[in-house]
A and B are shown apart, each in its own frame.
Chain A
Amino acid sequence: MTDNYSATPPQQVVSEEKANPTNEHQPFAERLAVALKDENLHSALTRFAPSWRASRKDIFATEEADYGSDFSFEHMRATLRTAKDYAIEHQPELIAQFRANAEAAGAVIFEARTAEDANRYIAELCQRKGIDLVVKSKTMASEETELNSYLEARGIKAVETDLGEWVAQLSHERPSHMVMPIIHKTRQQVGAVLSESLGREISREDVAEQVAVIRVEHRKSFLNAGMGISGANALMAESGTVMIMTNEGNGRLVTSLPLVHVVIAGYDKLIGTFADAMTQLRLLARSATAQQMTSYTTFITGPATPGKEMHIVLLDNGRSEMRADPRFKDALRCIRCAACSNICPSYQQVGGHAFGYIYSGAIGLVVTPFHHGLEADAGPQSLCVSCNACETVCPVEIPLPSLILDVRSRVVEAKGLPWLKKVIFGAMARPRLFDSAVRFFSFAQFPATRGGRYISTRSLGVLGKVPGVRPIAQLARWRSLPAFAPRPLRDRVKGQLTSASMDRTATASPEVPNLTVCYFAGCMIDRLFPEMGEAAINVMKACGVQVTFPQKQNCCGLIALNSGDRADCVVMARQTITTLEQALKESKADYIVGATTSCVVTLTQDYIRLFEDLQQQGWLQRARALSEKVMDFASFVDRVLLANGAMLPVRKSGGEDVIVTYHDSCQSINCLGLRSEARHIIQEVLGLELREMPQSDVCCGFGGSTSIEHGDVSELIMNNKLNNAESTGATVLVSDNPGCLMHLSGGVDASGRKIRVMHIAQLIAERLA
């Protein structure tokens, strides 16, 4: 310990730290409010997201075009997943192998069970060697352990040398993005922070000058620091090598110039071989920044020169708990590329200070409970709209959306459901009670709807000022809420679809087998939009399909599941499976078809996962068998009917004034992989003009109850979608999922926009001859 800092009483340093708390220590609600007001953040992320999507796609396409399908994104990510899974499975052996090789090369290994253990080891090492200045290259593991404030409280100055990390450090902020730490800041803000910290005027406009200043400032730190601290992108067991990727070149200086090099890395960074690491290099650089390679990738195996020390701190801090969990161990595959942040519609609106704790983005929502406790995640996880986009770009195939729902259900178990959700889901799980309640409300809603299809600012009128109604009026301000239909679909079809002989029309081509379909409505179509269901049924009937409607069908449970209420979801899942099995038996139906892709995903994917988790083998088998029969409406029409030669008896468009733009619902494109089906019908079968909107596959902002809990986030996402749709000049906005359609048509109604919003089934039904 040297004199110049032992003179500083630690308490004073600690209180300074308190005076400038880093932002994640603010309560979630405050962080979110700050983020929503931050125009810079919003415009920076809104510009970034589409350009990242495009360049990422290009760079993977280039690799595949040059080297073949073994180098496709899908193939490479399956390869890396296998390698990472192997490392997780064989972690004890890999640790032993890594340790033996690294120690043989002269490195010192320390296994830290907790964040405190890791921090203490590093601080004591500094104190033993009289080091009071440390340079760091970017390491999320040290953010996780809050190493900087730990060192500063002990009089050790830690300087971040990654440019963005340093500016964040000077601003007393956390990185808001794992790869681009200050994506939320403008050049003017960077100039201001630099000017204030350096005590002289630095350009607020010229980025090159700002970078040049940082180069000079850091050069002094590099040459004077006693210790360099880095993270690791991978730890190769076969040789005891640490791999570090940087673009700026600071990583090589941090690991070379000071006499002591400390690596801090989670156990999840272990990987078997250099060959595995090469696949990681490709996927990480391309997923993170759409680069072929980062500028510098360094491989260090023990100290390289006499007198140099290398210490490797292997961090557990909750990772063993993750590894022991059959679901969450998948999250240990993460390589911290932040693609799941970049693709996330909520992240795009609020940034990483609100969408996450220290780790941000979808993966942040998944790992935070293990590293920083469930409470730290309670707020951030509620921002996930369950759009599933993150899973499609994850380079190691982590099932992020379902892990986030698992976290949500843990939050619900710990804190309980809000009373209103408890009442609603409890009622939905009791079909007769639910039915009576909806019928009651379809009358009782009259003062709010005045007989219209929406509860809107207009229809509410002065009623909206009544205290109990005000929250509803607030919600309806930017998106009119749907009214319950006077007669649900189940009533409208009663007695019309039960006869086996009726409706078999002559339009079926001879080569199309006579098909029977069991129609699954989903609550939204049944109770709110029966006209969508009727349209779907009419289209199928017009192709000669016999359609049956099981009257005992109820909610599939998706809405409870998405709110973290697994208990009620299980009840509804069992009801639905039983009802549909019975209906299949009675009607001998070939398919169960739904025009709600969200429910189709629940029936085909969520149930299986749910009963796997609960280890209920009997139900699991029944869920699997049922899932084989279930299909969404657009696929059924396109891939079963049309593909087998059925003729849709429609008027082809003749100079009609209809221009269509298509919204890919998240569940349709991300979970079911639908893309061409509806487009084929619109263009080839109906002969209508289709104009693609920008970002057609980005969420509309509905996200179940998220649009109620985080109305302001949802409103921003919705407006992007509607603006994109309108920018095409289309007259009709079509999709295949009633949740999106409800949300978007409510937005159109509230804002007085002109575009019509309709289900693909309605678009076809309008044109039936």
Chain B
Amino acid sequence: MSKLACTNLFTRFQQRLSSAGGESHQVASLTAAAELIAAHSALMAGNIIVPPDFGLHSQWGVILPHLSGQGITIHEAGSPASVADAPAGLSGAELAIAETGSVLLAENALEARVVSMLTLTHFVLVSESKLIPMLDDAAAILLQLARAGSDQRHYMSFVTGPSRTADIERTLTIGVQGPKVLCVIIVADQKEAKL
């Protein structure tokens, strides 16, 4: 994907996510992502919850030492009750969709999922190469992930902004059951980052 197309995609993604009430950033490396997270107001208490074995994740694992280096304490997610209303959580997404400003989370483990369901601020990492233009582009990938096989993803979600309701007098209120803040960080791919 050309650099220009990519920049345009991010602009669209950011615009759409922003109208859904979400934040987004584009960074060159995981180091930069860690700095961004550490400086976020949700990290006031200096804690962040991550899915179990996040440190072993081939792509995102290396962010943990960077976060620790910024003075952040990392907790691996446990039971839902232990995660409920934790100030900050971090996970990785499979895709980001420019058309709608959505990210695709695809985790089978409950402990990994509750990070995105019960924390107050949810940070999501996505590779720049996984930022795709349209929902239609996501359809084929969704099918592939949902299909039976050793890596079948039983539980996937498009997340588009924070939890919201307008049930009472159509007054928009953020943070009903899920996070109150969603912060998506698009990270340049390692290869490109090296160049």
Contacts and interface: CB of A to CB of B under 8 A. Distances in A.
Given A215-B175, A274-B143, A278-B136, A207 B164 contact: no
Given A296-B178, A298-B155, A305-B109, A180 B146 contact: no
A275 interface: yes
A250 B176 CA distance: 8
Contacts of B118: 253
Contacts of B164: 247-248, 295
A672 interface: no
A243 to B, nearest CB: 10
A241 B152 CA distance: 12
A44 B84 CA distance: 35
Interface in B5-31: 12, 16, 19-20
B178 A298 contact: no
Contacts of B81: 223
Q: Lowest 8 CB-CB distances: which A-B pairs, in order?
A: A249-B178, A164-B167, A304-B154, A249-B163, A249-B177, A248-B176, A304-B155, A278-B135
Contact of A44 (B108, B148, B169): B169
Contacts of B153: 301
Interface of A: 44, 48, 66-67, 101, 104-106, 161-164, 167, 180-183, 185-187, 190, 207-208, 210-211, 214-215, 218-219, 222-223, 236, 238-239, 241, 247-250, 252-253, 255-257, 273-275, 277-278, 281-282, 289, 291-305
Interface string B123-137: 000000000001110
Contacts of A218: 177
B75 interface: no
A256 B163 contact: no
B148 A256 contact: no
Given A48-B170, A180-B170, A256-B110, A302 B165 contact: no
24 contacts: A67-B134, A105-B148, A163-B176, A207-B169, A211-B173, A211-B175, A236-B146, A239-B143, A247-B163, A248-B163, A249-B176, A250-B176, A252-B157, A256-B155, A293-B158, A295-B159, A295-B163, A296-B158, A297-B158, A298-B155, A298-B157, A299-B157, A304-B113, A305-B109
B136 A249 contact: no
Interface stretch (B45-53, B55-63, B99-107, B184-192): B99-107
Given A207-B168, A292-B19, A219 B154 contact: no
B114 interface: yes
Contacts of B156: 298-300
A181 B167 contact: yes
A106 B113 CA distance: 19
B166 interface: yes
Nearest to A223: B81
Given A163-B167, A249-B163, A295-B162, A302 B143 contact: no
B101 A292 contact: yes
A552 to B, nearest CB: 55
Given A44-B169, A215-B176, A292-B16, A252 B158 contact: no
Contacts of A293: 20, 100-102, 158, 160
Contacts of B170: 48, 180, 183
A182 B165 contact: no
B154 A300 contact: yes
Given A292-B16, A292-B160, A302 B154 contact: yes
Contacts of A256: 80, 110, 113-114, 117, 155
A273 B144 CA distance: 12
A248 B175 CA distance: 7
B142 interface: yes
B109 to A, nearest CB: 7
A42 to B, nearest CB: 14
A728 B44 CA distance: 55
A66 B11 CA distance: 13
Nearest to B171: A207
B154 A105 contact: yes
B138 interface: yes
B80 A223 contact: yes
B152 A295 contact: no
A247 B155 CA distance: 17
Contacts of A278: 135-136, 138-139
B168 to A, nearest CB: 5
Given A161-B177, A248-B163, 6 more contacts: A164-B168, A211-B175, A239-B146, A278-B136, A278-B139, A293-B100
Interface string B110-123: 10011001100000
A248 B20 contact: no
Contacts of A162: 167
Contact of B142 (A190, A210, A299): A299
A294 B166 CA distance: 12
A185 B179 CA distance: 26
Nearest to B116: A252
A119 B170 CA distance: 32
- Among A48, A163, A190, A296, residue most surrounded by chain B Cβ atoms (within 10 Å): A296
B165 A248 contact: yes
B114 A208 contact: no
A182 B136 CA distance: 34
Contacts of A277: 139
B161 interface: yes
A211 B169 contact: no
B40 interface: no
Nearest to B118: A253
Contacts of B134: 67
Contacts of A282: 135
A295 B160 contact: yes
Contacts of B162: 295
B135 A250 contact: no
B166 A289 contact: yes
